[in-house]
Amino acid sequence: MFFKRFYDTDLAQASYMIGCQKTGECLVVDPIRDIQQYLDEAKSQKLRVTHVTETHIHADYLSGSRELAGATGAKLLLSDEGGEGWQYTYDDGNQVKLHDGDRFMVGNVRIDVLHTPGHTPEHLSFLVTDTPRGDRPSMILTGDFVFVGDLGRPDLLDEAAGGKDTRYVGAKQMFASLRDKFLTLPDYVQVWPGHGSGSACGKALGAVPTTTVGYERALSWWGKLVEKGDEEAFTQELLSGQPDAPLYYGRMKKENRDGPALLGDVKPLPQLSAEDVKAKLAAGARLLDTRKKEEHHAAAPVGSVNIPDGGTLETWAGWLLTPDHDLILLAPADRAEVLRRKLWMVGLDHVVGFLPSAEGLETAPAQPIPASELPQHEDALILDVRAKTEYDDGHIPGAQQLHAGRLPWRLGTLPRDREIIVHCQGGARSAAAASLLRAEGFQVKELAGGYDAWAKAQGEAKKEAQPV
């Protein structure tokens, strides 16, 4: 049996390839839309992608299952569990509906289908057995069911997809899935989840890529609660302290259910002139400035959103950008295509070109203000774009909390006739959030160094005020 994990560090997302080297067939689980990596790996291993599946209707990224199955002629195996509203609504003629207890073969590798609701109603896990070695399963692909050290959160439907109190039903289902499915497996079975540390699909995911049933049974926070049947304590712990869910999750959920748009044959991204960019901006396009925030602050192109090229571009793009604008990248020629493909992860497909520098564009400085100047802006709204858990741990008096991942959908709640001072913990998230607000016409300043700088200034002021 061949097995490989593919990992996107930005969204902390894992996909998997399982192959039978004897028959040359392989299965890909939870693929992303940039499918070339799977095609290249299959070719290098002398395998054919014959089966594609996913554990559930994803909310944090746009699935590549439809794209990969269409490109390879593979069977697309999708959950038919979950009840009304939780079945996939598209079918390209290559779909096989999966139910609890189903079994299929990928060459000599057996895949048993387990319905494991809790994170979502339709969620599946896949138990893998390499039959030439024996009849015992060696691993389970758990998607957003069981993570290393944590569980998939059951409140996302409430938080981001318009659900009402579905978290309690989800927690009850999660408890039953653990008791009746996961904990019935042998301790030696390896667990390969769909996310790692940094994902918003749980609150305390481990950074180690894999675990075992036995390890989670013995050492997880939930293992003892499930084994002794304490569903009330389990539910309370599972639901407490979950991070804010970005509201683009609702859009991802719908697009993945109804069928992500096929990318097909992608043409090279054209380089645009400054005049081209100005014309497109006038027609409603948005400029995505991928330079470091310091460069953006020194000369911010008017109307641009600053999301630096780095390990958070996909996440922050999902937070702050919506697909109703064509996008132009301010990025070097050797990075433009890479960044374009990263934006596919969150369904931002309409990148129409790139510009390698801001020369020729209208720019303005956007320098943050130091914490010492905050008292001079007493009439300003202080907007804290951190997560609610961070805000609850300590915040500037009078600050209004609004997670950056909810900002584009809450613009109507913010004043346009009053200065807004935006901050996060250290200044990175707030720089991106403030650039969106500037692009939308708000009067915005950023707090240099964020809450950390403010707290430090408060501490120093207290020291100076103490009597000698």
> Catalytic pick from 20, 26, 201, 424?
424
The secondary structure of residue 245, as a DSSP letter, is P
Q: In what order do the strands lie in the sheet with 381-384?
A: 400-401, 381-384, 420-423, 444-446
Q: Which two tokens stand for residue 211?
A: 């675990």
Q: Where are the alpha helices (DSSP H) in 2-51?
A: 36-44
Buried residues in 187-206 as b, exposed as e (16+ CB within 10 A): eebbbbbbbbbebbbbbebb
The token pair that represents 405 in the structure block? 């991942």
| Ramachandran category for residue 467: left, alpha or beta (phi over 0 → left; psi -120 to 50 → alpha) | beta
247: its two tokens:
């509201």
The DSSP call for residue 330 is E
Contact 310, 278 (CB under 8 A): no
Backbone angles phi, psi at 13, to 5 degrees: -115, 135
Give backbone dihedrals phi and psi of 305, rounded to 5 degrees, phi first: -110, 130
Structure tokens at 266: 């992608």
The 10 Å CB-count burial string (b at 16+, else e) for 296-311 is: bbebbbebbbbbbbee
Q: How far apart are CA 294 and CA 301, in angstroms?
A: 13
- Report residue 22 CA to chain centroid gap: 36
- Supply angle C-alpha 141, 145, 150, rounded to 5: 110
- Which residues have CB under 8 Å from 6's CB, separation 6+? 14, 15, 16, 17, 31, 32, 37, 38, 41
Contact partners, residue 163, CB within 8 Å, separation at least 6? 157
At 64, which amino acid appears? G
Q: Is 424 tagged catalytic? A: yes
Amino acid at 300: A
As to burial, measured by CB atoms within 10 angstroms (0-12 exposed, 13-18 middle, 19+ buried), residue 184 is: exposed
Residues marked active site are found at 424
